[in-house]
């Protein structure tokens, strides 16, 4: 049986490169738009720019993969938890937390590859971040609540996105922020059609992901901003996946008004 992508050598090295690669590492030919090269950083810095946050204590990154956005959250939060279902991704993220760098075999073409070292930016306090294996649809209540919860490109990979969305009121502190990003790649192989948050017609009206999110999250969460963020994943030297992700930022109600 084919190994799931997120547990495979290919998936691991593509995601490590996507999260930690420099412009030179990803494409020295400069055909890739610069803005698309720092997506896991933009998920934190652009989405949260100039927004007030209850405290700088705790942040959660659900579906963190190999952890770059978790480390970016550690620039602002003293305790960051990264959760992912993939054991290989969590192991790699823990290694990065411990050592600060990893070496990968980056595919150039066919069997040709180059060994490159990827690092967490040295100005980030890696001891603030802890990675754990877990299922976004069954997050334990002992996790507690957070000032910021980030779920980047996760919801359209879940079988039951609403099981995760329903947990959010308890996971985000009153006045805390929720950042969701999604390419809205709704596919039956990941999410049965009946559980899609958007991307379908209902009674003659198009329901997009943002419509579905509003239905599930409001009024407990209030939409603050919506952004388009480009990202690129390198398959090999001459092939890239380019995606325009929709990011939304929500404030949890319930604090002092
Ligand atoms: C498309 S990737 C996005 C990774 C990262 N957040 C990013 O934006 O680069 C989806 C991630 O969600 C993880 N994932 C899939 N199902 C999950 C689940 N039920 N619980 C936790 N993580 C899950 C995958 O292992 C993978 O790392």
Determine how β-strand 205-207 pairs with β-strand 221-236: unpaired
pLDDT tens, position by position, 25-54: 998 777 899 899 999 999 999 999 999 999
Fold (CATH) for 5-184+218-252: Rossmann fold (3.40.50)
Q: Atom 4, ligand 1: which residue's CA is nearest?
A: 65
For the entire predicted model, the pTM comes to 0.97
pLDDT in tens, the chain (257 residues): 678 999 999 999 999 999 999 999 998 777 899 899 999 999 999 999 999 999 999 999 999 999 999 999 999 999 999 999 999 999 999 999 999 999 999 999 999 999 999 999 999 999 999 999 999 999 999 999 999 999 999 999 999 999 999 999 999 999 999 999 999 999 999 999 999 999 999 999 999 999 999 999 999 999 999 999 999 999 999 999 999 999 999 999 986 54
Residues sharing a CB contact under 8 Å with residue 22, sequence separation 6 or more, in sequence order? none
- What are the sequence ranges of the domains in the chain? 5-184+218-252
- Residue 88 to residues 11, 65, 74, 113, 237, Cα–Cα distance (Å): 10, 9, 22, 21, 24
Q: Which atom of ligand 1 is nearest to the CA of 19?
A: 9
Ligand 1 site-directed mutation target among 64, 154, 247, most atoms within 8 Å of CB? 154
Pocket of ligand 1 from Cβ distances under 6 Å? 6, 40, 63-65, 83-86, 89, 135-137, 152-154, 157-158
């Amino acid at each position: 049986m084919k190994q799931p992508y997120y547990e495979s050598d290919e998936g691991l090295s593509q995601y490590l490169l996507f999260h930690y690669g420099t412009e030179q590492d990803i494409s020295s030919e400069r055909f890739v738009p610069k803005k698309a090269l720092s997506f896991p950083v933009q998920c934190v810095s652009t989405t949260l720019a100039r927004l007030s946050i209850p405290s700088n204590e705790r942040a959660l990154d659900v579906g963190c993969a190999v952890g770059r956005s978790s480390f970016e959250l550690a620039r602002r939060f003293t305790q960051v938890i990264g959760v992912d279902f993939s054991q290989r991704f969590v192991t790699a993220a823990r290694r990065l937390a411990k050592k600060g760098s990893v070496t990968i075999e980056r595919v150039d073409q066919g069997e040709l590859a180059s060994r490159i070292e990827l690092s967490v930016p040295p100005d980030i306090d890696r001891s603030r971040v802890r990675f754990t294996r877990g299922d976004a649809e069954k997050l334990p209540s002992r996790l507690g609540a957070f000032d910021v919860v980030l779920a980047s490109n996760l919801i359209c990979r879940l079988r039951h996105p609403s099981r995760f969305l329903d947990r959010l009121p308890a996971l985000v502190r009153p006045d805390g922020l929720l950042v969701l990003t999604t390419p809205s790649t709704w596919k039956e192989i990941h999410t049965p059609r009946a559980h899609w948050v958007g991307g379908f017609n209902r009674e003659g009206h198009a329901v997009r992901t943002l419509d579905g999110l509003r239905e599930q999250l409001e009024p407990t969460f209030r939409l603050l901003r919506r952004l388009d963020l480009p990202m690129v994943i390198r398959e090999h030297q001459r092939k890239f996946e380019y995606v325009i992700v929709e990011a939304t930022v929500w404030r949890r109600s319930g604090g002092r008004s």
